[in-house]
Structure 1
Amino acid sequence: MLALKSSELENIATSLASVAGVLKEANTDRLESWRNLETMTSASSLLQGFTRLVDYNRPTVHIVEQMQRASSTLFDTADFLRTLEAYVDFLEKRADNSITLTVILRYIASLSGLLDFMCAREMNALCTSSTLSPLKKLSDFGTLPASSIHEFHLVNAPPEIRELAETNPDMQILEAGDGLLVASFGDIDSSSAVTTFVAGVGSSNPDGWNTYLNRARTVAASTNSASVLWLGYQAPDSIPAAVSGAAARNAASDLQGFQAALHARNPHQRKVVMGYSYGSTVVGKAASSEDFHADAVVLVGSPGAGVSHSSQLSAPVYAVTGNADPIGFAGTQYGGIHGADPTSALFGATVWASSSTHSGYWDDEEFLQKVAEVVQEK
């Protein structure tokens, strides 16, 4: 069940170390023979030749050092892997009738996948002399399973995100940073659909993250598929600050990149992007590109999507603003703070009726049913 085998890694590491040793010894003998020749003459031309020979030999020295470091990395990985293998061997003999032990085995498999990924990344850097770039975006992890990505972030994320994970054990962290969080409910790798939920004003403040997580969790439960809470941008911290569209413009490329990463992992998965409040402005900016990977866009309590008509977005548009939601005053069919009101007739979206307040959509069963219909559409 593990991605690697410690015995195989040890065999490769031993072979590398052996070859590196042979090359190093041959190189040492060669340099010694050149030094002996050098003592036989004082002719500047020959001395210059010996200097050139030493220079030409430097790549061999570098290759030996690379092989030694690669061998050491493989030995270290194999050493850690042996511990995982011992746990797996112990648990597999007892897991037949235990859900808890089965869950632990899956957790160890996630660790093994992450170990494989990190080892390959380190080996690539050693062998190409490249600098390791930080792992920040979902796309940085390639096809590594989401469960393994979550394990990486549990070690490297800011403390407030790790604490959030402890109180929300059903979520998986996909991206993390100061004031930034992208987390999923359900398996984004196997689910037939994923709904990406983008929140609005104040959503970069960790104090309110549990509220947004609960909303994403509600979407997952209502649609019987995976959902993602995308707080991958610096949201305006107040309503006055939200008058500016700068945050939405800055966030658009990051949201586009995230959707592209989802698409690369599972091209046949249905993808719906839901923007709430100022988050709908972010979604509108992102969906203005033809390269935006979304099969549908849902604008909830929107002050505007930055466009005048739904045809300017790259996916079918659904819009809802509750009768009791004061954000409905932010725009008209002719324009507003962030473009035309998406629920106006001239905008061209499919409009859902609602009596919701601005924060009440996730308690509205009719709204959730409409979302489920869009997500589950074939």
Structure 2
Amino acid sequence: MLPDAPSLRHAAHLLSTDAGWLTEQHDWLTRTVRALPGTGFRGSAAQAAVDRMHHLTAPLHGPPEQMLRVAQVLSMTATLREELDAVARRAVLAVERIPGAEGLLALLLKDLRALGDLLDHACARQVDLLCTSIPAEDPARLGDTPDLGIDAVHELNALTSGLELPPDVRLLEIGGEGAGRLVAAVGDVETAASVTTLVPGVGSSDPAGLPVHLDRARTVAQATGGAAVLWLGYPAPTGLPQALAQEPARAAGSELRVFQQELARRHPGQRRIVVGHSYGAVVAGRAASSGGGLYADDLVLLGSPGAGVGSAAEMTLLGDDPRIHAMTHPVDPIRLVAGTHGPDPTTPGFGARVWPGDREGDHSSYWDDPVLLGLLKGWAQKNPRASSE
């Protein structure tokens, strides 16, 4: 958190003053060195000394200019922070005249705090760019902005995404290497007792399908009473032929593992459930079978063509009483390609706890299955951890 507006203005004033003093010192040194030959200080050795002093004093021209640019950034940040503070004060005064508007005020102040946090982040990032020779990369993962809250992360991502998302959605990740990275949350990730991460499969990177995936996340969030994350952190295969490949799942599994680790770092007291659907089950299996394991209390493999492993024993979940579950509807055509990415997780020898689900359900109806939703609710609310935050 940056200082308040008066402190920012004071820092900008000090930087500007010191920059002026350094400029004067640089000019004086330059004039002095240039005047040396006129004093009789001549000869090859003397000229070499003068050239060396020119070389040493020349870099002193840069810092004052750099300091003035930083001072400008601090001044602009102070002005914007004053405007945010003024809006907050006006909102409080306005709501005091409207009975029953306290809830609206709380939401508004929450949004203003998120904008303030984003302003702090942007100021710090700009100062880093001005003061270091290494260009800062735009954040691509949730862990790239560890000091920002979820609302501020959403505001930052919304600035560059160009997406028009519903107001109940928080954008956690966007862009990054390769097309298709989009991670969004429904529900309050900051305060929820549980977070269920949904990992879709084939064709899920198509923007046209985003509303359907968000509706599924809403259904899960409502069922569990917690938050749900739509994890599209990888360029998903566009069709069944591409879904035969192992490498996309392996690379995506690494990204999913990093994301879940960041969730656990931010809120260690939450229960975490990961649900991999179709090819997303392969991704989740890969995440749990390498890199030290997956931060999840429950891993659910839905309509899975395999999990990229030979058995549940090859997967590691980092959670309290971790469990691996599997469900494939009886008429789900995924059964026809079972074994493509390892044994069918619903077979007895695999080692997962198998649930029957809807007898008439198909490959896309899991999110309407009352059996699955009831199970998710039970897992999300079982033995909540005491918050250690």
Q: Which residue of 2 aligns with 1:305?
A: 307
Q: Is the 8 A contact 2:293 2:315 kept in 1?
A: no
**How far, CA to CA, are the matches of 1:120 and 1:196 in structure 2?**
31
Instruction: Give the equivalent residue in structure 1 for 2:387.
Output: none
Work out whether residues 3 and 112 of structure 1, in 8 Å CA contact, stay in contact via their aligned partners in 2. no
Task: State the distance in 2 between where 1:95 and 1:154 align.
Answer: 28
How far apart are residue 140 of structure 1 and its match? 0.9
Offset of residue 224 of structure 1: 0.9
> 1:330·1:337 contact (CA, 8 Å) conserved in 2?
yes
Q: Which residue does 2:66 correspond to in 1?
A: 66
Q: Which TM-score applies when normalising by structure 2? A: 0.90
Tell me the equivalent position of 1:371.
376
Partner in structure 2 of residue 39 of structure 1: 38
Q: 2:366 aligns with which of 358, 361, 369?
A: 361
Q: Map 1:172-211; keep pairs closer than 5 Å.
A: 172-177=170-175, 178-211=179-212
The equivalent residue for 2:111 is 107
Partner of 2:141: 137
Q: Structure 1: how far apart are the matches of 2:55 and 2:92?
A: 56
Which segment is superposed worse, 275-284 or 288-297?
288-297
| 1:6-155 mapped onto 2 (5 Å cutoff) | 6-40=5-39, 41-96=41-96, 97-98=100-101, 99-155=103-159
Residues 235 and 297 of structure 1: CA distance in aligned 2, closer, same or farther (over 3 Å): same
Q: Given the superposition, is the C-alpha separation of residues 103 and 3 from structure 1 closer, same or farther in structure 2, using an over 3 Å criterion?
A: farther
Map 1:187-336 onto structure 2 (within 5 A).
187-289=188-290, 290-315=292-317, 316-331=323-338, 336=339
Shift of 1:4: 4.8
- 1:24 is aligned with what amino acid? T
* Structure 2 portions without partners, runs of 5+: 318-322, 384-389
Runs of 4+ in 1 over 6 A off after TM superposition: none
Residue matched to 2:354: 351
Q: List per-residue Cα deviations over 1:91-118 (Å, max 9, x = no partner).
A: 1222344233432222111110101111
Aligned mate of 2:345, from 338, 342, 349: 342
Cα offset for 1:80? 1.8
When the two structures are superposed, what TM-score results if normalisation uses the length of structure 1?
A: 0.92
Q: d(CA) in 1 for partners of 2:223 and 2:186?
A: 12
Q: Deviations over 1:311-356 (max 9, x none)?
A: 111122111111121212322xxxx101001011000101111122
C-alpha distance after superposition, 1:268-290 (max 9, x if no partner): 32221110011000111111122
Q: Deviations over 1:215-270 (max 9, x none)?
A: 11111111111111001111111122212222212211111121122122123322
Pairwise CA RMSD: 1.7
Q: Determine if contact 2:29/2:57 at 8 Å carries over to the other structure.
A: no
| Contact 1:3 1:109 survives alignment (8 Å) | no
Pairs aligned (count): 367
Query: 3-state SS of the aligned residue for 2:95?
Result: coil
Secondary structure (helix, strand or coil) at the match of 2:26 reads helix
Question: C-alpha displacement at 1:59, in angstroms?
Answer: 4.3
Query: Bigger CA drift: 58-67 or 359-368?
Result: 58-67
Tell me the CA shift for residue 196 of structure 1.
Answer: 0.9
The residue identity in structure 1 corresponding to 2:107 is V
SS in 1 for 2:344: coil
Aligned equivalents of 2:282 and 2:294: distance in 1?
15
SS at match of 1:194: strand
1:7-60 alpha-carbon deviations (Å, 9 max, x no partner)? 211111111111111111112112111211133333221121122122223443
**Distance apart, 1:171 and its partner CA:** 0.5
SS of the residue aligned with 1:8?
helix
Residue 174 of structure 1 aligns to which amino acid in structure 2?
L
SS in 2 for 1:39: helix
CA distance in 1, matches of 2:190, 2:55: 51
